Structure 1
């Protein structure tokens, strides 16, 4: 996958997609992994991450919306990707269709407590 294709796929699926797109445009790194995981397995994993980030007060973007979207996708096979901002302050997890031709959901998490921007679980 090339950067421009991924940038074009990041629309308005969740509120984290815009900041993830900005991270790509401004030189962030990215990867889309081979292999597929059922969406409901990912929903369970990210539901746990939602609880743990809330307990720690760690800023996130669209994590609860992403959990909802993954839950709705049931057993659909999902491909996972990741974008890190150039300054490494945010990580965005991407959930794509099996063919990696569409982003289904995107969430972001601040890597340090000092980087509270762009927001806390903005939906």
Structure 2
């Protein structure tokens, strides 16, 4: 998908879409995969990811709203894409209609979080 066409579609995609659009027009890496994916399976996956990121205190924009939009869009399949923002460091996930004519949902998740340290005296498993 052409960068400017995707930017145009993101102009009406809410707060996350606006931030994603800024990252895209600023030269952020992006891709939209051509193979459609089951919306139902994406809802299950992203519902879990949203809960996990919230529990871990990871900053996001539009995550819960994106899950609701996916769940209620009445489409069997959607296309998935992403845009990477360097400053601030965010990964934007984009969900488009199968014909790539509209953005169904968009979310952004901060990439500035730190993974738990693993090494002597630390444990990756909570006690």
Q: Does the alignment reach a TM-score above 0.5?
A: yes
1: CA distance, partners of 2:23 / 2:86: 7
3-state SS of paired residue (2:86): coil
TM-score, normalised via structure 1 length: 0.86
| Equivalent residue number for residue 55 of structure 2 | 55
1:87: how far off? 4.3
Q: Which runs of at least 4 in structure 1 moved beyond 3 Å after TM superposition?
A: none
Please say which of residues 74-83 and 92-101 is displaced more in the overlay: 74-83
- Larger Rg, first or second structure (1 or 2): 2
For the residues of structure 1 that align with 2:14 and 2:61, how far apart are their CA atoms? Answer: 9
* 1:21-77 CA distance string (max 9 Å, x none): 000111101000121112121111100001110111000000000000111124521
Higher-RCO chain (CA-CA 8 Å, sequence separation at least 6): 1
State whether structure 2 residue 95 is matched by structure 1 residue 86.
Answer: no
Gaps of 5+ in 1: 115-123
Rounded Cα–Cα distance in structure 2 between residues aligned with 1:27 and 1:104 = 22
Question: How many Å separate the matches in 2 of 1:101 and 1:21?
Answer: 16
TM-score normalised by L of structure 2: 0.83
Q: What RMSD over aligned residues (CA atoms) do the two structures have, in Å?
A: 1.6
Q: Deviations over 1:62-106 (max 9, x none)?
A: 000000011112452100000001347100000000011211110
